[in-house]
Structure 1
């Protein structure tokens, strides 16, 4: 059942949205530094850029190591440059170098709990109990939406498909 007010919000939502993509990975950052460009192995980052570019403006795709201070600085750089939406990929696991979720939760002014819940539900339907390892999350910081996705290309495809068409509606609410 469709909500008339939600449909009205979608109709009135902005179409011009600037996005940023951040890949967090020690190995991809090392490869990036050696080759001087986005490594071909960054399939997840490239997937985000490709899908977002179909309807929105991707202002930057940045690769950084798994480092909390670098993550915060990069997010602030993208927001200062005009990003309305930022997607991160990587660093959401349970390993000692996985710092994305803890770093973002300290920044978030509001969390979008439903994103992680739906993401894990869909992952469970596809993969079973291994979905409990997923810590995908989303929230708002400085009037900017931030979605943190795992580094797996399949997880990125699932996450971006979940929200890509809803981004204008979400950005509209941030701008009110």
Structure 2
């Protein structure tokens, strides 16, 4: 990391409050609303929580919602209202008609972080090859809060959280709130 990058990131190496939202109609239909990934057998949601806590961050809340634009928006905006610095969604980023996470959240982005999706797909290339083009993972800023939209795969979640989100969360929040 260059000295100018180090200076730019100065003061951002601290704990942040994260909200985790899993988007899955099938899981929501089976379990309903919940505030714990362990209660709904949500491997990716639990993995996100575990990795964030191991990195000394605060998991402010967890929620499970169906693939529904209004419900997704409501969950994200509620998280922001309740003080999340960063919201991470998992699921609903694929190509099927029911995958509407991107359609729900991109219109709310005040700024889109195109580089996140590009870097995520580049890093995913080693894991899944050219199938990475099916990923619509993206990120943006809503009301000073960083919002990341991840696929539902545990390997995708682990990659994004460990290699991109944790290292850059503070940097992003610093600029989003300045």
- TM interval, shorter chain, is over 0.9
Unmatched runs of 5 consecutive residues or more in structure 2: none
Alignment of 1:51 onto 2:51: yes
Give structure 1 regions of 4+ aligned residues with deviation exceeding 6 angstroms. Answer: none
Q: Distance in 1 between the 2:2 and 2:88 partners?
A: 28
TM-score, scaled to structure 2:
0.91
Which stretch of structure 1 is more off in the superposition, 117-126 or 104-113? 117-126
Do 2:34 and 2:63's aligned partners in 1 also have CA atoms closer than 8 Å?
Answer: no
2:100 maps to what in 1?
99
Q: Is the 8 A contact 2:35 2:64 kept in 1?
A: no
Question: Aligned to 2:32, what secondary structure does the other structure show?
Answer: helix
The answer (yes or no) to whether the contact 1:52–1:58 under 8 Å persists in 2 is yes
Distance 2:34 2:82 in 1: 26
Equivalenced residue count is: 175
**Hey, what does 2:174 align to over in structure 1?**
172
Counterpart position of 2:126: 125
RMSD of equivalent CA atoms: 1.8
Q: Judging changes above 3 Å, is the alpha-carbon distance between structure 1 residues 36 and 169 closer, same or farther for their aligned structure 2 residues?
A: closer
TM-score (norm 1): 0.92
